[in-house]
Chains A and B, each alone.
Chain A
Amino acid sequence: MLSKILSFALNGISGYPVEIELDINPGLPSYDVVGLADLAIKESKARVKSAIQNSGYKYPIHKIIINLAPADTKKEGSMYDLPIALAILTASEEIPKEKLKNFVVLGELSLDGEVRKLNGILPMIISAKQMGFKKFIIPSENSMEASYIDDIEVYAVATLKDTVQFLKGEKEIERLKVKSFESALSERTYKNDFAYVKGQVSAKRALEIAAAGGHNILLIGPPGSGKTMLAKCFPSILPDMTFEESLEVTKIHSVAGLIDSQKGIVVERPFRSPHHTATLIALTGGGTKAKPGEISLAHNGVLFLDEMPEYARNTIETLRQPMEDGYITVSRNANTVQYPASFILVASMNPCPCGYYGNGTDQCKCSPTAIHNYLNKISGPLMDRIDLHIEVDSVKYEDLSDDRLEEKSADIKKRVDKARKIQLERFKDTNIYSNSKMGEKEFKKFCKLDTSCTDLVEMAFRKLNLSARAYNRILKVARTIADLDGKENIEKQHILEAIQYRTLDKKYKV
């Protein structure tokens, strides 16, 4: 007897349909899987057999052949356990054949017949929906993830037995209710808040500008000055993600298996902080399965590189291309995958190897060459892509013990939201959504200066020894400051403030 069931496979963060064909023939009992299945799929024999028997059904003692079509792409993972089990039961006429038509089935089985959670459900469902599939059977633990997609029929099942009874019409399983994105958004929480950061007014202001314009930022300061704390608070002032952004992030996190099954969808902007020993693959993505790396997991959020000069040079240099393009292409033997990787880079560093350069008169013990080499560890092209450099002062005891109230993240966020709205309006006909992403054309159009401003910029370059590469950065940041200020044109004071954030272009040290 022959049976066919539809399932899905993943390639990067998009899915493609896989048809599971199963044939039971008389002959010596056997179980063969063809169609470039990996070991996890071949091992499904044991799980499927036990699960069927432990659910109280009969496992056919015949020759079973399973084909995963298309037969020429590699399939991996354990999501085919449930469809194979259902195919066996259909072929052995436990379940009527026509019942499974149009269903896309995904799920891993445990030996006692329970249906287990999977990674990558959301991207598969989204792709399936785009291809016109409407009905799904998925593990109940993944139900939260699927519940934000409307226009489809999703049935979340807990056990194999339930599934069979549901298909036979013996038991009702309720169709998954669609949840609204707004409800998820309202449950959003951020662990860190700027209200708990004492002092640091200049760094906070710089982060506000970075958030408003989507600018990359570098924090320079002595150890213990609170660079990491500031960076951790940063996501809390970023504008809320739109539903599309949120889905995109959830897709990537789903593939990487990082979804909290209670929440289902990622509503907080991701904050990724890979350790400085992270390898190139860990950052960019790859491995045999071409998994997403840290930069993709930070998509639409923040990538925080603490102690940037400590990272291996070739590791951070690979950030250059994704920072420009907003995606990364991971090519592996098996497949080539494109992952989105559009993030705000927040980096921190010490001013010298010991960390105390310029802090007090004689604390720093580094030789001039050591300081020079340390600052040179970050290449010019990478520095070029960081719009704001800000020095973080060391914290004094008085600041810590002071109990005055600081501004809450929510209040800062209101200003950021306002500035972002202006930008969205400005770039509405393009695919740009923040000032930092302006290309040459937009730059010319939106960063126009009047004569007094042009004179000011010229004077600043002459007097402060700014490097030429600073020019575009300063004007883009000035544009964002003007937006925060609610001004149509860039004015003098906006430029003056923007120049403040080019510490490393000025002579940082002699």
Chain B
Amino acid sequence: MMKTLRHKQIQFWVYISILFLFPVLFLLYKSFTLPMRYETHLHAHFTMQGWVTLFSENQLIQATFVSLGIGAIVVILNLIVGLTAGYALAFYDFKGKSLLEALILFPIIIPLLAITIGVHIAMIRLGIADTWVGVVLIHLVPTIPYAVKILRNGYTSLGTAILEQAYVLGPDPWQRFLSIDLPLLKPAIRSTIFLTFVISLSQYVITAIIGGGNVVTLALVFFPFLNSANSTVLAAFSIWFALLPFLFYILIELLFLLLPYQKPWRTRS
């Protein structure tokens, strides 16, 4: 039994290295070297130029914090909508449920640009265009569908039985949510947080239009450089961009450690 697990682990890391680790390491390598010439012999020109360019971008640090802040609020709103709707969709049957599920997907199906342009005028009239509130709202459009779907699936795989047992614990729904639902749903919640944060972070056009340049997120600084033939600079920017959700993820993991009833549920495999 132990042996197969060990074997599996090795197999897993081989696959993962080829599929995911190698490309990322290659990108990291690119960020420190000049573009290679095909005919020349195998040796790399080391350079810090990519990273120097990155940090000489004077809006970088501020934009990074703006992105973190907006991402955090988007994540919280996503959890609120996702947990409530996910619960209803998983445990109740009602008329028009299938239609509602398809409707929730709509924001992914319709090109965001079309939605954004329509919403923009309404936002200007409401006075929330050019503000972080508007940007947060528009970031909900490409994220909520994922949150609802993931959390709904999380609830479904828990099954009703386990939540029924929880009724024994007492009538306070909030207490029940904190001590039963939340720890059990942790994998789904973790996925939601991670995914919605990443999606929010990488929104460029909709942030530019709704934020009107008043809200400068990291995407606004980063995306114009994508149109550059300089792979060194592009690679450095991309790595920095990817570090942000990584840091956010670690922060969330630390928060999770503070949750009640941590151990008993975790060790079950």
**Do A and B form a real pair?**
no
Q: Which residues of B contact A (CB under 8 A)?
A: none
